């Protein structure tokens, strides 16, 4: 007997009890939908967090002096600056870059002090690599004629009760490890969407630093944006060959936790999906066991007239698998449509704004599901359906052919 006949019988058997099969199929569809929406939200959040980080502070590539990464002394400026600038200016993959002086120190006023990182920037070049200027919520982005103005994050401003024009003192060690202080006035307050970043980073004009440190020249950090974030390893490798004393890092080298988050997330989501699907498979198994119980005599008859145990096993297996395999395309198409819609429109999460800001994302969440996830979910459904078909099929084989002759 060919397998098509068995498949035909199984398929028709699925629809013998339409309501029951329908309920099982719908439950699998909703399980898939729920799971995929959770996947979409998780990836959406993660992606947003990553993009935020890249746009506000990581950029695609950063260059530092190797020693600077080990010890934040301001004397460790970038080596061979001219050579590097030449290289990146001539690289068509580079969209923009900027040069920063970095001071690690304390920011204090009468309300207290905070450990911060000062980014001394050229206001005009800097806007090409970060979006901080867009995130100013009070005051201005370096409009003042004066040199000694500072941009502080909202969180830090709240902590130290800083207002526009508030005076702050920045204290740091110079190249001789001597404490130096610079006075600034707050010109703008930014809110990047990542409160931890806002708490620990401030911006000043770089000439406000060089002016006060006559013996200092050079830069500590070059952030680079590329035409495509995926080019970072290529460009990085090209730069590395010219920069023995500098450390060239992609965003994922600098922020390992963000980079790992994606992989971690995938693993967690697969486990999550497995749990949903396993729960559904119990429903499927239960339905099939009921169906087999009802059809004891019929299965006994099939055995009596000579259908082999293997064929009976296959028949019940197909029947079980059909329940989830029918649900699969419905669930996937439905999920895909919903995900696509909310990947464009986004959903408003402003009720949990504070929590999201701590996590480093905005209040509108855009769904995202990498295409291969659909494929993996489909395979999972397939595997789970095969596994859940074993139990009912084995149960069916336990039926005795004499059932066919029993009157009750």
Partner 1 sequence: MIETKNLSKIYNPGKFEVKAVNNISALFKEGEFTSVVGPSGSGKTTFLNCVGGLDQPTSGEVIISGENITKLSGSKIINYRLNNIGFVFQAYNLIPVLSAKENIEMIMLLQGVDENNRISRTNELLNQVGLYEMRNRRPSQLSGGQQQRVAVARALASKPKFILADEPTANLDSKSTSNLLDIMSQLNEAENITFIFSTHDQRVIDRARRVVTLEDGKIVNDNKK
Residues at the contact surface with partner 1, assessed by CB under 8 A: 1-2, 5, 9, 12-13, 16, 297-298, 300-309, 311, 401-402, 404-405, 407
**Residue given tokens 């909310």 in the structure block:** 342
Contact call for residues 114 and 105 (beta carbons, < 8 A): no
Kindly tell me which of 3 and 26 has the beta carbon lying closer to partner 1: 3
Q: Measured from the CB atom, is 5 or 86 closer to partner 1?
A: 5
The least distance separating partner 1 from the CB of residue 283, rounded to whole angstroms, comes to 23
Smallest gap from residue 397 Cβ to partner 1 (A): 10
Q: How far is the CB of 1 from partner 1 (least distance, A)?
A: 4
Cβ nearer to partner 1, comparing 5 with 207: 5
> Which residue, 13 or 287, has its beta carbon nearer to partner 1?
13
Question: 174 or 403: whose CB is closer to partner 1?
Answer: 403
| 3-state helix/strand/coil string of the chain | CCHHHHHHHHHHHHCCCHHHHHHHHHHHHHHHHHHHHHHHHHHHHHHHHHHHHHHHHHCCEEEEEHHHHHCCCCCCCCCCHHHHHHHHHCCCCEEEECCEEEEEEEEEECCEEEEEEEEEECHHHHCCCCCHHHHEEEECCCCCCCCCEEEEEHHHHHHCCCCCCCEEEEEEECCCCCEEEEEEEEEEEECCCCHHHHHHEEEEEHHHHHCCCCCCCCCCEEEEEECCHHHHHHHHHHHHCCCCCEEEEEHHHHCHHHHHHHHHHHHHHHHHHHHHHHHHHHHHHHHHHHHHHHCHHHHHHHHHHCCCHHHHHHHHHHHHHHHHHHHHHHHHHHHHHHHHHHHHHCEECHHHHHHHHHHCCCCEECCCCCHHHHHHHHHHHHHHHHHHHHHHHHHHHCCCHHHHHCCC
C-beta of 15: minimal distance to partner 1 in Å? 8
Q: With respect to partner 1, which residue has the nearer C-beta, 75 or 297?
A: 297
- 9/95 with CB nearer partner 1: 9
Indicate the pairing of strand 112-121 with strand 201-205.
parallel
- Of 21 and 77, the one with the shorter C-beta distance to partner 1 is 21
Closest distance of CB 17 from partner 1, Å? 11
In the complex, minimum distance from the CB of residue 47 to partner 1, in angstroms, rounded to a whole number: 48
* Minimum CB distance to partner 1, residue 326 (Å): 16
Cβ of 328: how many Cβ atoms within 10 Å? 19
Instruction: Report which of 205, 226, 218 is spatially closest to residue 246, judged by C-alpha positions.
Output: 218
State in angstroms the smallest separation of the CB of 381 from partner 1: 25
| Separation in Å, CA 107 to CA 116, 158, 188, 277 | 6, 13, 15, 53
For the CB of residue 324, give the shortest distance to partner 1 in the complex, in Å.
20
Question: At its nearest, how many Å lie between partner 1 and the CB of residue 403?
Answer: 9
């Amino acid at each position: 007997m060919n397998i098509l006949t068995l498949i035909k019988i199984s398929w028709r058997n699925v629809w013998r009890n339409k309501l029951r099969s329908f309920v099982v199929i719908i439950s699998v569809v909703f399980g898939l939908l729920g799971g995929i929406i959770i996947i979409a939200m998780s990836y959406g959040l993660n992606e947003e967090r990553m993009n935020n980080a890249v746009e506000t502070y990581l950029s695609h590539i950063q260059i530092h002096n190797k020693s600077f990464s080990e010890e934040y002394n301001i004397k460790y400026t970038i080596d061979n600056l001219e050579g590097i600038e030449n290289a990146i200016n001539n690289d068509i993959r580079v969209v923009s870059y900027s040069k920063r002086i970095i001071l690690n120190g304390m920011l204090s006023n009468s309300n207290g002090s905070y450990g911060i990182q000062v980014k001394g920037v050229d206001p005009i070049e800097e806007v090409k690599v970060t979006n901080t200027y867009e995130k100013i919520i009070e005051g201005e982005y370096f409009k003042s004629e004066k040199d000694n103005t500072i941009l502080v994050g909202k969180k830090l401003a709240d902590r130290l009760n800083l207002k526009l024009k508030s005076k702050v003192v920045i204290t740091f060690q110079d190249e001789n490890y001597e404490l130096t202080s610079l006075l600034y006035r707050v010109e703008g307050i930014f809110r990047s969407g990542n409160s931890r970043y806002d708490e620990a980073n401030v911006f000043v004009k770089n000439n406000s630093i060089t002016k006060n440190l006559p013996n200092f020249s050079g830069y500590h950090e070059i952030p680079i944006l590329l035409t495509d974030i995926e080019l970072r390893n290529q460009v990085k490798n090209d730069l590395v060959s010219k920069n023995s004393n500098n450390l060239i890092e992609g965003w994922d080298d600098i922020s390992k936790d963000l980079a790992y988050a994606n992989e971690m997330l995938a693993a967690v989501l697969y486990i999550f999906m497995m749990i949903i699907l396993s729960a559904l498979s119990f429903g499927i198994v239960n339905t099939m066991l009921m169906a087999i119980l009802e059809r004891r005599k019929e299965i006994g008859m099939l055995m009596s007239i000579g259908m082999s145990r293997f064929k009976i096993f296959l028949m019940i297996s197909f029947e079980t698998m059909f329940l989830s395999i029918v649900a699969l395309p419905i669930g996937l198409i439905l999920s895909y449509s919903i995900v696509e819609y909310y990947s464009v429109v986004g959903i408003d999460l402003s009720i949990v704004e504070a929590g999201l800001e701590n996590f480093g994302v905005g209040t509108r969440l855009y769904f995202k599901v990498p295409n291969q996830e659909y494929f993996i979910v489909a395979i999972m459904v397939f595997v789970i359906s095969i596994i859940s078909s074993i139990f009912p099929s084995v149960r069916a084989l336990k039926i005795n052919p004499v059932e066919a002759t029993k009157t009750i």
